[in-house]
Amino acid sequence: IRCSTCDTETSPFNMTNGYTMALDHKGNIGVTIGREGARRIALDAKNYMRTPENSVQNPVVALAPSDLIGVMARMRPFLGQLGTTPSKAMPDSHNAGDFGSFLIGAPHEYAFTQTELDTHRTDGHMDISRVREGATLICPVKVPGGGVYIGDMHAMQGDGEIAGHTTDVAGIVQLQVSVLKKVALDGPILLPNTEDLPYTAKPFTKEEKRRARELAEEFGVKQVEEVFPVSIVGSGTS
């Protein structure tokens, strides 16, 4: 993508490989399509991508990527970005410890030091597929009012944005926002839907607890510990 006047390359990324995915109207299944279908979508990209009326952007499907053909994926929409505004201006895609590391010593006005990045970021760009309908997210507040923002909606994504990768889409989101006073956080806490938890991390039922107590008593154990599984999502360079 180049400037029509000076022929300078203007795209911030070089896409070496990519795909275009068609999604069914019921929101269940997607399948990647070939060159002819990708070109058809590219010619009417904003319509196919359902970009918001006041949005100013050029959907990436305008490039007609079609390197993967006939690959199926189940749809489960979620927000790649949901969080609060950092206390220093930065590109929203870099509001995380990993991708934000590219701002350290960068040759532009949004350059950060490591200390500045750790101080100001809120990790709103998580790309975690469990940030979806029904989940609760507790976010740090670093600017007056919090500045809740959303974006980067995906139709689906594999863990770590590797298996199944991701498919960017447009969508409509409804949020319920509450304020937790006197709570200090360095980063977000995600409370996912129970069904999204790993099998061994799901809360125990009353029946499971009863059976555990009986088993403990049989072997002379007086008390069964309460457990609350916690997983940690790293936010830093890898």
pLDDT tens digits for range 153-170: 999 998 777 656 789 999
pTM (2 d.p.)? 0.86
**Banded pLDDT at 236 (limits 50, 70, 90):** confident
| Contact (CB, 8 A) for 118 and 173 | no
Please state the domain count of the chain. Answer: 2
Condensed to tens digits (0 to 9), the pLDDT of residues 169-179 reads: 999 999 999 99
Q: Is the dihedral of CA 42, 81, 194, 237 positive or negative?
A: positive
Statement to judge: residues 51 and 15 lie in one domain: yes
Statement to judge: residues 94 and 156 lie in one domain: yes
- Over the chain, what is the mean pLDDT? 92
Statement to judge: residues 70 and 135 lie in one domain: no
Question: What number is the average pLDDT over the span 220-225?
Answer: 95
Helical ranges in 65-123 per DSSP H:
114-120
Identify the domain containing residue 118 by its residue range: 76-193
In a domain, 146, yes or no: yes
230 or 175, which is more confident: 175
Is residue 10's pLDDT more than 90? Answer: no
In a domain, 151, yes or no: yes
Secondary structure element (H or E) that encloses residue 214, with its range: helix 206-218
Q: What is the reported pLDDT for 229? A: 81
Condensed to tens digits (0 to 9), the pLDDT of residues 190-212 reads: 999 999 998 988 999 999 999 99
d(CA 62, CA 40): 9
In a domain, 70, yes or no: yes
Choose the final residue of a domain: 56, 74, 92.
Answer: 74
**Residue whose pair of structure tokens reads 């944005």 in the numeric block:** 161
Condensed to tens digits (0 to 9), the pLDDT of residues 17-49 reads: 899 999 999 989 999 999 999 999 999 999 999
Q: What is the reported pLDDT for 161? A: 76
Statement to judge: residues 62 and 89 lie in one domain: no
Statement to judge: residues 83 and 181 lie in one domain: yes
Statement to judge: residues 86 and 183 lie in one domain: yes
Q: What is the reported pLDDT for 163? A: 59
In a domain, 213, yes or no: no
Statement to judge: residues 163 and 80 lie in one domain: yes
What end-to-end distance do the CA atoms of the chain give, in Å? 30
Statement to judge: residues 66 and 98 lie in one domain: no
Pairing of strands 149-157, 78-83: antiparallel
Q: What is the reported pLDDT for 123? A: 95
* Position 176, amino acid: Q
Statement to judge: residues 70 and 118 lie in one domain: no
Q: What is the reported pLDDT for 124? A: 95
Secondary structure element (H or E) that encloses residue 191, with its range: strand 189-191
CB atoms within 10 A of CB 183: 10
Cα→Cα distances 178→85, 138, 175, Å: 16, 9, 10
